[in-house]
Chain A
Amino acid sequence: GQNIDQPTEMTATEGAIVQINCTYQTSGFNGLFWYQQHAGEAPTFLSYNVLDGLEEKGRFSSFLSRSKGYSYLLLKELQMKDSASYLCAVRGYSNSGYALNFGKGTSLLVTP
């Protein structure tokens, strides 16, 4: 089975940096993903990590440590539009095949 934990809520100030952590337990690990979901909208893809290390994409970076079952999403130069839910998702393999399982999401509020 899979167990994915991330903080429920976070608050940060416009222009600041925020780090959203995710820990996971899974069988047959095959990649970790971050998605952004604004209220009432569909999730949109942010990043993908399958090897250890940091992946940078503009203001967003994602880090993975497979041995620790740990990832974080780093958001720099926060903007008001970054207020959203951030979903950590882990791809794993079981006898039912591959599955992409999401955490409950971290609701980020960016304040002026």
Chain B
Amino acid sequence: ETGVTQSPTHLIKTRGQQVTLRCSSQSGHNTVSWYQQALGQGPQFIFQYYREEENGRGNFPPRFSGLQFPNYSSELNVNALELDDSALYLCASSSGTLASNTGELFFGEGSRLTVL
């Protein structure tokens, strides 16, 4: 067990709604990154937060947004949900930034979102 916890574990939304997913990072980690993993695919990088600021972003539209709090926990918000947003959303924490660490991310178990 990595110490990274995510909530909720499963949720169902309808198209057009908004969703907030939460992540508590492992103790001592100041960086959180979010990934979207569709069934049978690899995780796709959404963005990374380091010390409460976004410092890296993948090819996701602005309706995907996030926050990192002073205790380094994080939220992923998705507005105007679409059917293709159905996926497993993974949060990963690490110490240092993507640029400076050796890439050992500690993943949570994920939040599985279904959009109907």
Interface positions, chain B 71-103, Cβ under 8 Å from A, are 90, 97-99, 102-103
Residues of A with Cβ closer than 8 Å to B?
Answer: 1, 4, 30-31, 33, 35, 41-45, 48, 87, 89, 91, 93, 96-105
* A96 and B58 contact, Cβ closer than 8 Å, known pairs A48-B104, A102-B42: yes
B108 and A42 form a contact (CB under 8 A): yes
Which 3 A-B pairs have CB atoms at the shortest separation, nearest pair first? A102-B42, A97-B56, A42-B107
B103 and A48 form a contact (CB under 8 A): yes
Distance between Cα atoms of A33 and B94 in the complex (Å): 14
For the residues of B in contact with A, the DSSP-based class is loop
Contact for A42 among B44, B45, B98, B109, CB less than 8 A: B109
For the residues of A in contact with B, the DSSP-based class is strand
Q: A48-B103, A103-B42 are in contact. List 9 more A-B contacts (CB 8 A).
A: A1-B59, A30-B99, A42-B107, A43-B105, A43-B107, A97-B54, A98-B56, A101-B58, A105-B42
Residues of B within 8 A of A35 (CB): 105
A99 and B56 form a contact (CB under 8 A): yes
A96 and B102 form a contact (CB under 8 A): no
B102 and A48 form a contact (CB under 8 A): yes
Distance between Cα atoms of A48 and B103 in the complex (Å): 7
B41 and A104 form a contact (CB under 8 A): yes
